[in-house]
Amino acid sequence: MSRMADTWILAAQCSSRLGTVDVVTRFLKEQQCYITELNSFDDRLSERFFIRAEFRPELDDFCGETFHDAFASRAAEFAMKFELTPPGKRTGTVILVSKADHCLNDLLYRYRIGQLPLDIRAVVSNHPDLEPLAAWHGLPFHYLPVTPETKAQQEAQIQKVIESTGAELVILARYMQVLSPAMCERLAGRAINIHHSLLPGFKGAKPYHQAYEKGVKLVGASAHYINNDLDEGPIIAQGVESVDHAHYPEDLVAKGRDIECLTLARGVSYHLERRVFLHGGRTVVLGN
């Protein structure tokens, strides 16, 4: 489901207990707010409750700050953590890339037509190849080459770009460098990566060529938050398509590119619409 242009989002979580849905829906009614979408999940194993409500205020003098403070008082009884997102919010974003352009090109197209409410502050790359694409969209491009000897300095420069632009989100759009544990920790919960998903799992160079040699029947992609486990962070979205013996390596690569683009865009959209809750090493994604 896509978010309406005039709706606010209230996303919250707390321990499972009686009244968790009521505290949200009753408050919205009292504040004269019409709920346009409501999703919740109660995890019986961890006894944790998650809820997301999109709503449209019906009072002309609605004030987000007043609403936030009033709900904080009501939610305190449940020790409920929550986030309130206004209509039209565009999330400050830095995109990291290497040489492959398909994911970046797709994100920039969706950004340009307004499908993804991003405010792209910069594109950063360890190669100069995609600077013309960024320039065509009027975006700052930072070429920060890296070698094993300069990796720490290069990551410090990336962090400087993120901090100086005030970016809230980092997207690794086929950025072919492994981030350090320290960098992963700094970006926890706000950096989304995309990688191929093949069975069996193929690592290293030319994974689709390896897949061809094994005669795979499925190709796919996973969008996930980064962590210190390479390509094993909490999963936000996945995509998959069937293939067969008639698909040559170049066909698998082409299918893989398409799936990577769609899956990354879907994962980013879920994050921007506050549908994703980090829950230990997993995610809860409401209303996807």
pLDDT string in tens for the chain (288-residue length): 566 678 999 999 999 999 999 999 999 999 999 999 999 999 999 999 999 999 999 999 999 999 999 999 999 999 999 999 999 999 999 999 999 999 999 999 999 999 999 999 999 999 999 999 999 999 999 999 999 899 999 999 999 999 999 999 999 999 999 999 999 999 999 999 998 877 567 777 788 888 888 888 888 899 999 988 766 789 999 999 998 898 988 998 899 999 999 999 999 999 999 999 999 889 999 998
Check if 231 is active-site: yes
Task: Say yes or no: 49 and 75 in one domain.
Answer: yes
150 with 222, same domain?
no
Instruction: Enumerate residues 6+ apart whose C-beta is below 8 A from 4.
Output: 36, 54, 56
Q: Which of 42, 101, 119, 231 is catalytic?
A: 231
65 assigned to some structural domain: yes
Whether residues 195 and 169 share a domain: the answer is no
Cβ proximity of 53 and 24 under 8 Å = yes
**1 domain residue, yes or no:** no
Residue 228 within a domain: yes
Domain endpoint, select from 123, 143, 177: 177
Where among 85, 110, 139 does a domain terminate?
85
Domain count, the chain: 3
**Reduced to 3 DSSP states, what percent helix, strand and coil does the chain have, rounded to the nearest 5?**
35, 30, 35
- Residues whose CB falls within 8 Å of the CB of residue 161, separated by 6 or more in sequence, listed in order: 94, 122, 124, 142, 167
Domain annotation covers residue 17? yes
User: Is there a single domain that holds both residue 75 and residue 115?
Assistant: no
**DSSP β-ladder status, 118-125 and 91-97:** parallel
In a domain, 182, yes or no: no
- 249: containing domain: 190-288
Residue listed under structure tokens 């492959």:
100
Is pTM beyond 0.85? Reply is yes
For the chain, the residue count is 288
The DSSP call for residue 4 is P
Dihedral angle sign, alpha carbons of residues 65, 67, 69, 72: negative
Could you tell me if residue 155 is inside a domain?
yes
Measured between its terminal Cα atoms, the distance across the chain in Å is 7
